Chain A
C-alpha cells in the first residue's frame, strides 16, 4: 500500500502539472490514471521514509539540491573556461571514486549528481559501488570530487539513514 502511494503520488502531481487545472473532475481522472499506472508496478525496490522523520528528510533533501546546484554551476564555469581557452588545456582520464554508500539508491543518486556537473561523467559502476569517472582535468577533479562526495554522502545518509 505505501509503495503504491510512493509511485502514484508523483504521477498524480505530474499529471496535475501537465493538465494545469484543479477542477474536481480532473482531480478524479488524475487519481484514477495514477493509481492505474501504479498497479502495473514494476519490481522496484523503493526505500521508504518513516513519517516522523519526514521533516528531517525534507530538510536534508533541500540542502542536497542546493549543494548539487552549486557543484553544477562550478563545473559549468570551469568547463566553459577550458573550452574557450585557445590552448585547450585538457588533462583527461578515468579516476575511481568510491561512493561510500551500500544502498543502490545512494549510489545511483551520487552517480547522477556527479554526471550532472559538466567536467565529470560516470562511465561505469562496479558491484561495490566504485564509480569510474571520466574527468576533463584529472588533478583538479580528484581533489574536488573527494570532498564534494563526502559532503553529499553525509546528506544522503541523513536522508535515508
Chain B
C-alpha cells in the first residue's frame, strides 16, 4: 500500500490541507525552556496568591491599608506630618525560590503625579546588556498587571505607578530581556525573583 492507494475522498482531504501540512509554522516545536518557565511562573504566582506565604510585620499594616481602601480612602499607615509626604504604607519584599533569602521593603507615597514606590532590595545581581529587572504592580487575583519601570539592579529604586496601591497592592519583580529581534521589545512576564504585598490576598 502506498500514498497512491488512498481513496479519492482521502486524497481530496489531504489535498485540502496540503497548505497547512507544508507550512513550517504548523510543524514548529515548543522550546524546551517553555515548560520549565511556565511551571516557574505559575508557582511564583501561586505563592503570591496563596495564604500560605510567611506572615510578616507588614500584615498588620496591610489590614489597615485594605480597610482604608474599602472606605475609599488611600491606605494610611503613617500619618502625614508636614508638607513632605511620608510613606503611606510599607510592604516587605522577599525573594522567590530563584532568589532565596532576599529581603527588602517598598514604601508607597502618593504624590500629585502618581504613586512613588521606593524599593530597597539588595542582593540581586546587576543585569546589563539588554537584560533588566521589571517591576510590576498588580491586583490580588493577578488579572491586572501594570508595569512600573525597568532597572539594572534593585538595590535602591524609585519607581512610579499611575494606579492606586489599594487596587494594585502586590509588587512583583521579574527578570526580563530585550527582544533580540528588534532590540527594544519586551517579552512577556519573565521569571519572578521577588515580591511583596500590601494586602493579604487570598485565593
Whether both chains belong to one complex is answered with no
A interface residues, Cβ below 8 angstroms from B: none
B interface residues, Cβ below 8 angstroms from A: none
